């Protein structure tokens, strides 16, 4: 019996050409004659496509041409292709249905056709093509009516070709007045965002919405439609005229803004009083301080989910509002602000949440237990306590927090962390990992490690890390603004030092110490005139470094919430065994490695997945003298794109990320929400 699995994990579009990547799991010793068979579910047609197998890992690639999957038969306009892997083992032939872990948005082929990669109810992959659609309709990704105005997001390409002179039209149906808004803001590559100011919605409606653009020498005008319900979108807002603006999706999917008479004062007072009571009750629960025993008891109680879709975010055990959970949160807030978003934080972050208008619950309080248990979605980059119960209705998305360099989970042969043993650590890691319904992966290398080191059998979303979208989408103007925000002189180069913690340098469970392995005085003497130094310590390092003597040269930004901002302003990265260099490599800037205790770390601590001496994308300095020389050399070569070794590393670890990882995770969650409605 063959237990092998084939999973669609990635798709890249190149016009009519689609490159599909499949991950193969539990592969028999010898598998021959690999090919893909596509079966059309309605007409029972089939297509056989050869497979290209990669040298590393059990990953295969398939390239298909979309037009080959469209045919004329009884005016068929919808095509649904199931995917099968065919192969031989010894003398036996096998046919294996392909599973799907790829989350696809619609890809517009022409004005009246599009395709998507979906999954059926058994999570098997489907390639769906829709032709003969209404060419007068423009399907938007999201639409929201807020205090800032009416914001629309949608595609600014058709089959990877840009739409020229694109604009949004707002038509007052009562007066036939049309106002035009230029679409000039690119939210992400291929996705626009445009906002109609709230002050422009003063007259009585309703308002109709259209988009105009030039495409292949054709001027196009289409009405705006949404091909699903308005779930998660903000659909009502008080207007300056005193009326209430309300988004409406009419029977044919067409979008309108209705303007209703204002709500009576009596109804406002009743609603305000009800809200005040809920806030009062929440604050009372928030300030209860409970023992761990009582907290565990709370999680054992039966809960029912909130009526409104609620998503909990947590980063590094509540210590930060940062990393991939933050990037996903920001994308959700922009596209679907109608959902309820809550951050799980330590008490020290409460002032930050209040100042930035972020909804929060403080960890290990009664309100936290209740909110966590009643939310439908958890998104975290680390682990929740083992005693936190995960209800069956919860979907838990684990973003993780780095491409693995050091051994993880089951691959750590000798665990030297305080408060645990190797056996207990392995057992707890596997139990926790298999609570995750989906795990975000940045590349095939990480996917293979996650499967083995975590004993992980659930869904992997190989979309790249959402936190890295900023690195891909940032412009020089953005970088200048970040330097000004951080008060870094614009005329100075920036070196960033970001080491990891050492497993054997702990002071107590979960806390580690660190001392700088080089002289700040020597550093400043060499580079202080035209360069500054950023220090970014690992979040587990508990001792604060005293750099007050060098405040004009050294910036300790260890507690700064978004490390991607620090990557963007830096001209060179220095690290040791931290996985930060995998992310920094997206910028194609020089990376310097300073493993001053390499022999100890390799021999006595975790060990590495990569060959540290040969696989890294930069120079290794073994002592302080080499470090200073290599910093000088690195600053003289700011662009590494022509370095063959660096580029090979980039292709292996960074190439799949297209700057849209956050929206792909959002799309995955939206698929779950819509499936459960």
pLDDT digits (tens, 9 = 90+) for 561-570: 788 999 999 9
| Each residue's pLDDT tens digit, 388-412 | 889 999 999 999 999 998 888 899 8
| Each residue's pLDDT tens digit, 168-208 | 999 999 899 999 999 988 888 889 999 999 999 988 879 99
**Where does the pLDDT of residue 387 fall: very low under 50, low under 70, confident under 90, or very high at 90 and above?**
confident
Give backbone dihedrals phi and psi of 248, rounded to 5 degrees, phi first. -140, 135
Angle between helices 624-635 and 520-527 (to 10 degrees): 30
Give the DSSP letter string of 173-207.
TTTTEEEEEE--EEEETTEEEEEEEGGG--S---E
Q: What's the pLDDT at 295?
A: 62
Q: Is the pLDDT of residue 281 over 70?
A: no
Indicate the range of 62-66, 150-154, 427-431, 508-512 predicted with least confidence: 508-512
d(CA 142, CA 126) in angstroms, rounded, equals 24
CATH level 2 (architecture), domain 474-653: 3-Layer(aba) Sandwich (3.40)
CB 470 within 8 A of CB 657: no
Q: What is the mean pLDDT of the chain?
A: 87
User: CATH code for 137-260?
Assistant: 2.60.40.10
d(CA 663, CA 228) in angstroms, rounded, equals 17
The reply to whether 137-260 and 474-653 are identical in fold is no
Q: What's the pLDDT at 264?
A: 55
Q: Report the SS3 class of residue 47.
A: strand
Q: What's the pLDDT at 276?
A: 52
Give backbone dihedrals phi and psi of 574, rounded to 5 degrees, phi first. -115, 130
504/656: higher pLDDT? 656
The whole-number average pLDDT for the span 618-643 is 93
| Each residue's pLDDT tens digit, 418-446 | 778 889 889 888 888 999 999 999 999 99
Q: Is the pLDDT of residue 283 over 60?
A: no
Q: Is the pLDDT of residue 272 over 60?
A: no
**Where does the pLDDT of residue 26 fall: very low under 50, low under 70, confident under 90, or very high at 90 and above?**
confident
User: CATH code for 5-130?
Assistant: 2.60.40
23 closest CA partner among 587, 432, 457:
457
Cis preceding linkage at 558, omega within 30: no
Side-chain-side CA neighbours of 616 within 13 Å: the count stands at 25
Residue 466: which residues within 8 A CB-CB, separation 6 or more? Answer: 324, 327, 328, 331, 399, 440, 661, 662, 665
| Each residue's pLDDT tens digit, 336-354 | 999 999 999 999 999 999 9
Give backbone dihedrals phi and psi of 330, rounded to 5 degrees, phi first. -65, -40
CATH level 2 (architecture), domain 284-464: 3-Layer(aba) Sandwich (3.40)
Q: Is the pLDDT of residue 573 over 90?
A: yes
Using CB atoms within 10 Å of the CB of residue 167, give its burial: 0 to 12 exposed, 13 to 18 middle, 19+ buried.
middle
CB 416 within 8 A of CB 434: no
| Each residue's pLDDT tens digit, 102-146 | 878 889 999 999 999 998 888 899 999 999 999 999 999 999 999
Q: Is the pLDDT of residue 160 over 70?
A: yes
CA torsion angle 662 665 448 89 (round to 10):
-130
Q: Is the pLDDT of residue 512 over 50?
A: no
The whole-number average pLDDT for the span 476-483 is 96
**Where does the pLDDT of residue 287 fall: very low under 50, low under 70, confident under 90, or very high at 90 and above?**
very low
Structure tokens at 595: 């493993």
304/445: higher pLDDT? 445
Give the DSSP letter string of 538-598.
-TTB-SPP--GGGTTTEEE-TT-S-HHHHHHH-SEEEESS-THHHHHGGGT--EEE--TTH
155 closest CA partner among 239, 236, 224, 103:
224
Helix (H), strand (E) at residue 649:
helix 644-653
Q: Is the pLDDT of residue 282 over 60?
A: no
| Each residue's pLDDT tens digit, 232-250 | 999 899 888 888 999 999 8
Q: What's the pLDDT at 288?
A: 46
Q: What's the pLDDT at 284?
A: 44
**Where does the pLDDT of residue 507 fall: very low under 50, low under 70, confident under 90, or very high at 90 and above?**
very low
How open is the CA angle 378-311-332, to the nearest 5 degrees?
A: 115
**Where does the pLDDT of residue 532 fall: very low under 50, low under 70, confident under 90, or very high at 90 and above?**
very high
The whole-number average pLDDT for the span 549-555 is 87
Domain residue ranges of the chain, discontinuous segments joined by + = 5-130, 137-260, 284-464, 474-653
Question: Strands 59-65 and 78-89: what pairing?
Answer: unpaired
Q: Is the pLDDT of residue 606 over 80?
A: no
Q: What's the pLDDT at 597?
A: 80
Q: What's the pLDDT at 545?
A: 66
Q: In this structure, which long-range contacts are made by residues 160-164, counting pairs with CB atoms below 8 Å and at least 24 apart in sequence?
A: 160/13, 160/14, 160/15, 161/215, 161/216, 163/213, 163/214, 163/215, 164/213, 164/214, 164/215
618/27: higher pLDDT? 618
Question: How far, CA to CA in Å, does 125 sit from each of 7, 122, 373?
Answer: 8, 9, 32
Indicate the range of 294-298, 467-471, 580-584, 669-673 predicted with least confidence: 294-298
The whole-number average pLDDT for the span 634-656 is 93
Name the percent of the chain lying above pLDDT 70: 89
The 10 Å CB-count burial string (b at 16+, else e) for 424-458 is: ebbeebbebbebbbbbbbbbbbbbbbbbebbbbee
Q: What's the pLDDT at 621?
A: 94
Q: What's the pLDDT at 54?
A: 67
Structure tokens at 340: 């309820």
| Each residue's pLDDT tens digit, 661-677 | 999 999 999 989 988 87
């Amino acid at each position: 019996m063959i237990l092998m699995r084939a999973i669609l994990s990635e798709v890249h579009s190149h016009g009519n050409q689609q490159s599909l990547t499949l991950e193969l799991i539990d592969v028999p010793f010898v598998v021959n004659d690999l090919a893909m068979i596509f079966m059309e579910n309605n007409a029972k047609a089939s297509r056989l496509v050869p497979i290209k197998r990669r040298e590393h890992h059990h990953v295969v690639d398939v390239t298909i041409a979309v037009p080959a999957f469209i045919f004329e038969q009884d005016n068929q306009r919808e095509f649904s292709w199931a995917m099968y892997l065919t192969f031989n083992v010894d003398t036996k032939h096998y046919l294996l249905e392909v599973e799907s872990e790829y989350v696809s948005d619609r890809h517009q082929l022409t004005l009246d056709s599009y395709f998507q990669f979906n999954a059926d109810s058994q999570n098997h992959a489907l390639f769906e093509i829709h032709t003969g659609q209404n060419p007068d309709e423009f399907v938007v990704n999201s639409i929201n009516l807020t205090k800032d105005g009416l914001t629309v997001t949608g595609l600014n390409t058709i089959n990877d070709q840009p739409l020229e002179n694109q604009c949004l039209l707002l038509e007052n149906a009562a007066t036939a007045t049309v106002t035009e808004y230029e679409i000039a803001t690119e939210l992400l590559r291929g996705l626009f965002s445009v906002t109609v100011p709230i002050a422009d919605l003063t007259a009585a409606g309703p308002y109709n919405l259209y988009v105009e653009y030039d495409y292949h020498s054709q001027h196009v005008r289409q009405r705006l439609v949404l091909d699903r319900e308005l779930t998660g979108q903000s659909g009502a807002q008080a207007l300056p005229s005193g009326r209430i603006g309300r988004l409406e999706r009419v029977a044919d999917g067409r979008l309108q803004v209705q303007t209703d008479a204002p709500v009576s004062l009596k109804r406002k007072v009743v609603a305000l009083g009800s809200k005040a009571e809920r806030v009062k009750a929440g604050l009372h629960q928030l300030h209860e301080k409970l023992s761990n025993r009582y907290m565990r008891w709370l999680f054992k109680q039966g809960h029912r989910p909130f009526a409104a879709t609620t998503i909990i975010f947590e980063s590094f055990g509540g210590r930060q509002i940062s990393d991939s959970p933050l990037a996903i949160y920001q994308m959700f807030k922009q596209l679907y602000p109608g959902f309820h978003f809550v951050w799980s934080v330590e008490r020290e972050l409460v002032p930050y949440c209040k100042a930035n208008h972020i909804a929060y619950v403080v960890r290990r309080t009664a309100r936290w237990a209740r909110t966590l248990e009643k939310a439908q979605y958890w998104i975290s980059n680390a682990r929740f306590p083992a005693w936190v119960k995960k209800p069956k209705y919860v979907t838990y998305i684990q973003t993780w927090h780095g491409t693995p360099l050091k051994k993880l989970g089951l691959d750590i042969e000798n665990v030297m962390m305080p408060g645990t043993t190797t056996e207990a650590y392995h057992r707890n890691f596997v139990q926790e990992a298999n609570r995750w319904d989906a795990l975000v992966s940045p590349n095939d290398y990480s996917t293979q490690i996650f499967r083995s080191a975590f004993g992980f059998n659930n869904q992997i979303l190989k979309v790249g890390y959402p936190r890295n979208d900023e690195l891909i989408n940032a412009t020089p103007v953005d970088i200048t603004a970040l330097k000004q925000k951080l008060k870094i002189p614009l005329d100075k180069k920036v070196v960033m030092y970001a080491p990891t913690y050492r497993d054997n340098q702990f002071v107590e469970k979960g806390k580690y110490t660190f001392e700088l392995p080089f002289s700040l005085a020597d550093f400043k003497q060499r580079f202080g005139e035209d360069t500054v130094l950023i220090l970014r310590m690992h979040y587990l390092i508990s001792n604060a470094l005293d750099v007050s003597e060098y405040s004009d040269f050294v910036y300790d930004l260890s507690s700064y919430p978004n490390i991607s901002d620090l990557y963007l302003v830096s001209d060179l990265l220095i690290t040791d065994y931290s996985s930060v260099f995998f992310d920094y490599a997206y910028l194609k800037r020089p990376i310097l490695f300073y493993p001053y205790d390499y022999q100890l770390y390799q021999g006595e601590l975790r060990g590495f997945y990569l060959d540290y001496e040969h696989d890294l994308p930069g120079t290794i300095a073994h002592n302080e003298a080499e470090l200073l020389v290599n910093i000088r050399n690195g600053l003289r070569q700011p662009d590494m794109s022509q370095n063959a070794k660096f580029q090979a590393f980039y292709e292996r670890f960074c190439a799949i990320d297209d700057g849209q990882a956050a929206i792909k995770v959002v799309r995955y969650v939206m698929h779950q929400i819509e499936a459960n409605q």
